[in-house]
Structure 1
């Protein structure tokens, strides 16, 4: 039996293949037949390139139905899909291309001038473009090249353990790591969530998430595809447009920022959301105040869940049972989650410990990092998440912190060491510390605390530091505030006490 993830999707397509699979915000519709034929053309194009086995296809393009077709085509061709954040700049993309060594790169036309030289330096022979949807049409050299290809393709057989995708993640030290996800990893998670969240035959997903993130692609898209459900595709989150489209949908997934912004819109009320069966929140902590305000405004109780790039979804508040604000619910069926103390022993109820997980959804390891992979797994096969949490007496999981100081702002991961390295390289900076502080809109806000170098004679300016960072790193990593202080607080071992900084600047 072919375990290729695309075969699972295809087996769940609705009987009426002429029905709508994706509808864009401007009203353009793509049927299930359209998706199948278009992905076949792109798969035939990829197959014609005589690529090596397990070749990577790196993709940094704007959100569009054609981007989903490319994802499906990569699966069908038996290749490995590598999505990249559209906010990444040249220095970031250079690292990913060098590390992943993709055989194919697909980028936005506007970025071709700087992406193509980086791809060539990484040894990539094939570079295509795919433009965002404009005036109801999509263009680029990928679609132009695939237009002449056949619209039928026999999906390449794949075992469940063979790789389907690589998602780059990171700790607070070192460079980003590529999490290797297999066809079996993604299939198991999609099927479990389909049952756990009670997907219905007539469900319609309002999709406002990005496609380069596990949330938007492997939770939202995969969930709709495995259920044969229509998606209403918004290019990005726009509160007014979401409110306008909600009456036509039954499921909505978002990060906490989406929900705070919906609550800021006076047009968003119980009437606007009356057709929605399920609101889901993830990728960042949802403040209890937001949870309560949303329920009071709409009558809906947001369902929070917990996942990682390395594992997809791990736990969820129940569909039918009590949803508790601040908790991420219970382990999903087939997933084991445990909390252990520093001595390696299991924690008692309400005792905080390091979170470790095991299940068919857990990734195969880090790309080209066997030693790091071995380090992150226990002897009995549990993955060390780096998160710290506890279970209460009712079996609900509570995440109380991140042992590696990861910041999640607006649903995106921000790794302090990466931002600190850039700030520390600026003229007039002696050292810096980057922290996350609670933020009603973003869940957490990135804040930089900077110590000036008195020998430099440079006067540090908050606006100047922020402006410089915006030219260097993705915008979601740029601090919302910069504080200049005389020295960073340290313990007797010389380690910066970020907990004191969080308290001071919260």
Structure 2
């Protein structure tokens, strides 16, 4: 029987020389491919020794380390379901995730063992281990007694669950997106081809590993290509610039690119061996895109994906232009359309809801059959909740989230459009537009604007400038200049926090 386990495919891609370096860590240690094979075997054997039920969940909230990455691979290898949790989550959130997912195993940092183990045991979890970034903890102590050989669990078909990723929960409770072995493998193989991965590629891995970008896109990309990783437990712009001459691929969120541009050592010489810079997880400002081109001679490749689907679209690696402000074309095998509220597919250039279908699209939300049904169309397309348009050349532009849409006096206002105009104004670093309740219009826009360092902005002048460019119903009713915007771990602006902050402005 063919083994559809994702780990089997990743393991098959390991280079012939298992003693070559797979991971160069920032703690001075080098891990060979043989180390990855043996350590994941030992951890997989530990998990199997616990006699867990089929499909058991392994919930993990630990700091980034090579051992944490090995635990993910071991969970796949043993045929269980990996549940990564953001290290920023606090007790109420952890209580919800553990209560909802009912993991058989919880792995946490030693410093959090006291309170996390209480929550876990109360919820019925039998096994709680610790794992720390300095290679200590009860998980490694126990695994050290297990065999370093493991015959991989056969996953009878690719539909078996590999991971559950909880979405950020900007509208109500977080939902657990169920991703199968086949979902993740299909995406890894498509991206290997689409992004031109080749022998000798080296990836700088500077992203967290509790999220699609770092855990799936970056990690699977390197592993399915048998590529060495330069592993940074935390993003350090100076360290990245130092390491660029030894690497060929870098993946980051827009905030990381902004911080790299602040490093004086970033120039064309530092990037002389680089092949590809990829950005995603949040919109990249056109200014960052252009400045990166000028400083490094490289054009950032923007792509688009989500927890429920892994990657959906990408700007081209070769053969066509990488266009700033767009997320490129639908990936091979992905069908993407833009629909209006009436369920009709919209013509070129018109803004509507983005819907997708493909082998990478998740199986549904964990224990939410009604919600799952709601999010899929009758003909099997997933409603992403993103709003966008496709131009005459087929490039896709994301205009915002449908929940961010502001309906003011019966008119649709798309925040990304107004933010684009504000961001183009002199002295503006960034902006966010959110809708808040209004007694006359139902909802109106409020703009929060961040100034560039050393610049003083006048909120009134920003509104006046907008009035000369846009229809009146699009003009924010209030504008505030702030020091920063609230963000999640991946650098996305948390508009729900801004809506909450300003919700009583007009009521």
> Normalising TM by the smaller chain, what interval?
0.7 to 0.9
8 Å CA contact 1:172–1:405 kept in 2: the answer is: no
| CA gap 1:149/1:440 in 2 versus in 1, 3 angstroms | farther
CA deviation after TM superposition for structure 1 residue 338, in Å: 0.2
| CA gap 1:481/1:316 in 2 versus in 1, 3 angstroms | closer
Structure 2 gaps, min length 5: 406-414, 417-431, 437-443, 453-483
CA deviation after TM superposition for structure 1 residue 107, in Å: 0.4
Instruction: Please tell me whether residue 199 in structure 1 is matched to residue 197 in structure 2.
Output: yes
CA deviation after TM superposition for structure 1 residue 348, in Å: 0.3
8 Å CA contact 1:105–1:128 kept in 2: the answer is: yes
Query: What is the aligned partner in structure 1 of residue 240 from structure 2?
Result: 242
Q: Separation in 1 of the partners of 2:449 and 2:364? A: 32
Instruction: Please tell me whether residue 261 in structure 1 is matched to residue 262 in structure 2.
Output: no
1:145 aligned residue (142, 147, 150): 142
8 Å CA contact 1:38–1:151 kept in 2: the answer is: yes
Structure 1 gaps, min length 5: 409-413, 421-432, 442-465, 491-506
CA deviation after TM superposition for structure 1 residue 274, in Å: 1.3
Task: State the aligned residue count.
Answer: 439
Q: Separation in 2 of the partners of 1:376 and 1:478? A: 22
| CA gap 1:77/1:434 in 2 versus in 1, 3 angstroms | farther
TM-score normalised by length of structure 1? 0.82
CA deviation after TM superposition for structure 1 residue 46, in Å: 0.4
Partner SS state of residue 327, structure 2: coil
Partner SS state of residue 355, structure 1: strand
Q: Separation in 1 of the partners of 2:445 and 2:102? A: 31
Query: What is the aligned partner in structure 2 of residue 453 from structure 1?
Result: none
Q: What RMSD in Å do the two structures reach over aligned CA positions?
A: 2.9
8 Å CA contact 2:315–2:328 kept in 1: the answer is: yes
Partner SS state of residue 37, structure 1: helix
8 Å CA contact 2:170–2:496 kept in 1: the answer is: no
Query: What is the aligned partner in structure 1 of residue 122 from structure 2?
Result: 121
Query: What is the aligned partner in structure 1 of residue 289 from structure 2?
Result: 291
Query: What is the aligned partner in structure 1 of residue 350 from structure 2?
Result: 351
Deviations 1:162-196, CA, capped at 9 Å, x for gaps: 10000001454321000000000000000000000
Instruction: Please tell me whether residue 51 in structure 1 is matched to residue 48 in structure 2.
Output: no
Q: Separation in 1 of the partners of 2:41 and 2:449? A: 46
8 Å CA contact 2:282–2:492 kept in 1: the answer is: no
Query: What is the aligned partner in structure 1 of residue 63 from structure 2?
Result: 62
Instruction: Please tell me whether residue 272 in structure 1 is matched to residue 270 in structure 2.
Output: yes
TM-score normalised by length of structure 2? 0.82
| CA gap 1:117/1:307 in 2 versus in 1, 3 angstroms | same
CA deviation after TM superposition for structure 1 residue 197, in Å: 0.1
2:305 aligned residue (300, 304, 307): 307
Partner SS state of residue 23, structure 2: strand
- Higher deviation after alignment, 278-287 or 235-244: 235-244
1:228 aligned residue (218, 226, 229): 226
